[in-house]
Structure 1
Amino acid sequence: MNRRTNVMADQRTLVDNTANPAPLGLLGFGMTTVLLNLHNAGFFPLDTMILAMGIFYGGAAQILAGLMEWRKGNTFATTAFISYGSFWLTLVALVLIPKANLAGIAGPDKATAMAAYLTMWGFFTAIMFLGTFRLSRALQVVFGSLTLLFFLLAAGDFTGNHTLTVIAGYEGIFCGFSAIYTALAQVLNEVNGRNVLPLGAIA
């Protein structure tokens, strides 16, 4: 006796009950950026406080947020958080590897290698900035100011003009706080179920 099996498509809807990881990624980026640029602005030297933030909060926490955004199917946030988390880890490595004297590897020359490194991140951020025009005004400010920050830092290294680096430091402090604002606005808006702090969502 022949048996015919009918395979029915599963039409159940998957409900995503996971938390929004974007505030974590934005805070990891924003708080670490503020601290590094307080150094660039001349308030304190580069020390283990900045390096530790770069490894664990700017680096690891952002990568974790990016992986959670991947689970949600958010390509933009996945690319942004994992990329900038990796940026912080590579930046720390650029500082620590020469000090560890591994195989006599020298640190990057600021006028060439470091300027090229920062310029590449500037180009990447400029393209990501274009994507924010479909997202929110708050993210436009974050990515727009970050693009400017990378190019200012690259110009400061390439020309050896310390004043440009100091200007970049103050601009970077603004950039970091704009990311912190965006993160905390998302948290407070979600907790209260209404717009407590505006993000300028794009219709």
Structure 2
Amino acid sequence: MTEEKRANAAPLGLSGFALTTLVLSLYNAGIITSGAGTVIGLAAFYGGLAQLLASILEWRAGNTFGLVAFFTYGAFWEWYFISSLGIIPITSIGVGITLIAFGIFTLAMWFGTLKTNIGLFTTFLLLWITFFLLGAGAMTSNTTLTHAGGYVGILTAIAAWYTGLATVVAESLGTKPPVGRAIIK
């Protein structure tokens, strides 16, 4: 009996994360100022649902890091979706604390990327900086910090998208993805 080849779910999770992060970050940076409701649908389905699905597939593949990362960030986007609906009242302090808590989580996960590749290392490095800037901006109502978080978020999205899509293209060409070597061997 031969083992069936399974698809790599990480590019799906990274792409869902990257696209949703990019669109929200364009608003956070102040580059786009109208139509922010666009992010709500992305948060529910591509940022949220796609990452939750990717996390389950990573679990089946035995990848604990992928499971924890994709499930957590999928849940983050579902939180964003529910919070954006205005059903449950939230404060800027509450949002700021939540973003900083996600920043702490992401900082811890960043250490887990040291033995993966530079693509993931860069994505998680930029993401924890993004969360801290956005959290501080929300807590202090400082638009400069929020805009800075938006710009770093755009870089985060680019790094995540590159890492995910480089893997897809490399697999389709039968080559190794150009995402850089591990920081620590």
TM-score with structure 2 setting the length? 0.93
C-alpha separation between the residues in 1 aligned to 2:91 and 2:15? 30
- Residue pairs, 1:1-203, within 5 angstroms: 15-42=3-30, 43-45=32-34, 47-96=36-85, 98=86, 100=87, 105-106=88-89, 108-110=90-92, 112-195=93-176, 198-202=178-182, 203=185
Mark the CA change 1:46 to 1:119 in structure 2 (over 3 Å): closer, same or farther.
farther
Read off the aligned partner of 1:123 and give its amino acid letter.
I
Measure, in 2, the Cα distance between the counterparts of 1:76 and 1:183. 15
Asked whether the 8 Å contact 1:39–1:46 carries over to 2, the reply is no
Kindly state the Cα deviation for residue 157 of structure 1 after the two structures are TM-superposed: 1.1
Does the 8 Å contact 2:130/2:149 carry over to 1? yes
One-letter identity of the residue aligned with 1:139: L
Q: Which residue in 2 is equivalent to 1:5? A: none
The whole-number CA distance in structure 2 between the counterparts of 1:201 and 1:20 is: 19
What is the aligned length?
182
Residues 86 and 134 of structure 1, relative CA distance in 2, 3 Å threshold: same
Aligned-pair identity in percent equals 41
Alpha-carbon shift at residue 45 of structure 1 (Å): 3.1
Task: Give the ranges of 4+ consecutive aligned residues of structure 1 lying more than 6 Å apart after TM superposition.
Answer: none
What is the CA RMSD across the aligned residues, in angstroms?
1.5
Shift of 1:182: 0.4
Distance between the aligned counterparts of 1:144 and 1:94, measured in 2? 26
Shift of 1:16: 4.9
1:44, distance to aligned residue in structure 2 (A): 2.7
Contact 2:48–2:77 under 8 Å retained in 1:
yes
The Cα shift of 1:159 comes to 1.6
> Which letter maps to 2:67?
T
> Normalising by the residue count of structure 1, what TM-score does the alignment of the two structures yield?
0.85
Q: Measure how far apart 1:158 and its partner are.
A: 1.5
Instruction: Return the alpha-carbon distance in structure 1 between the equivalents of residues 181 and 76 of structure 2.
Output: 27
